[in-house]
Amino acid sequence: MSDSAVSPAEAATTAPPLVRIRNLSKHYTRGDQDVPVLTDISLDIPAGDFLALMGPSGSGKSTLLNLIAGIDKPSGGELTVGGLNIAELTEAELADWRAANVGFIFQFYNLMPVLTALENVELPLMLTDLSRRERQERALLALSLVGLSDRVDHYPNELSGGQQQRVAIARALITDPTLIVADEPTGDLDKRSAADVLALLQQLNREMGKTIIMVTHDPGAVKAATHVTHLEKGELLGTELVAAGD
């Protein structure tokens, strides 16, 4: 190997970030009042990272997650994902971009109660050109990845909270997204189920290389992440490495 060769570790540190945020701001108008939510946020998130966003209620962490996921649009600044400035996309373009690039995990699962686990996971593929058989094969694979091969025909009310969240994670994986965004994914779970879900997210990050951004208020949940970013009153306080075994 020549002296000028770059090691994989060096290449990872020099690669452009998957998410690049510069001077990002978000405000809402209430009557004649301008209410700032995020102020001058600059942040880089490399591909393959597992980032936890922490902060007190009202700090802007869920707003920042929604901006990165293309659910909301910033009031100012630059927000690029994979080199694409999603702040410049129209609503229709954003919807197409989200469908192709973002997997969503919510606190309350957002499963359709009249659909089985398999049908819930299959939902994001309904607007694709895949055949019914191809959709079901992918959904079965996603459910096997989250350890629910024996629950494919169960309805949400026949599953525990932890199992419902794993169905939601399988649904988030089904399109092989660039980003997985999770908003308080353990907030409605008991301690054991929360630990199982966090272990699964950690596995997706470490073994499948999935980039995960997770909003949480739980210091215990942060231990699953590789980095944690703190927000307070709409301002970024800093990002730090989560120590292994912390």
Q: How does pLDDT run across 3-30, given as a tens digit for each residue?
A: 445 444 444 456 789 999 999 999 988 8
Fold designation for 47-71+88-241: Rossmann fold (3.40.50)
Distance between first and last Cα of the chain? 37
Residue 230, beta-bridge partner list: 54, 238
Strands 102-105 and 211-215, by their bridges, are unpaired
Biggest CA–CA distance in the chain, Å, is 65
Q: How far apart are CA 121 and CA 139, in angstroms?
A: 6
Residues of the chain with pLDDT under 70: 1-14, 243-246
* 3-state secondary structure (DSSP) of residue 15: coil
CB-CB contact of 42 with 24 (8 Å): yes
Quick one: which of 188, 186, 187 has its CA closest to 199? 186
Q: Helix 161-173 and helix 191-208: axis angle, to 10°?
A: 20
Q: How far apart are CA 134 and CA 129, in angstroms?
A: 10
Element (H, E) at 10: helix 8-14
Q: Which amino acid is at 107?
A: Q
Please give the backbone phi and psi of residue 99, each rounded to the nearest 5 degrees, phi first. Answer: -60, -35
Given this model, what pLDDT does residue 156 score?
A: 94
Given this model, what pLDDT does residue 245 score?
A: 47
Write the CA distances from 146 to 40, 142, 156, 198, integer angstroms: 38, 7, 15, 12
Given this model, what pLDDT does residue 163 score?
A: 92
Whole-prediction pTM? 0.86
CB-CB contact of 224 with 50 (8 Å): yes
Given this model, what pLDDT does residue 9 score?
A: 44
Q: How far apart are CA 179 and CA 82, in angstroms?
A: 10
CB atoms < 10 A from the CB of 99, how many? 15
The H-assigned helical ranges of 15-90 are 61-68
Q: How far apart are CA 209 and CA 49, in angstroms?
A: 8
Question: Given the structure tokens 């997985």, which residue do they identify?
Answer: 180
What are the domain boundaries of the chain? 47-71+88-241
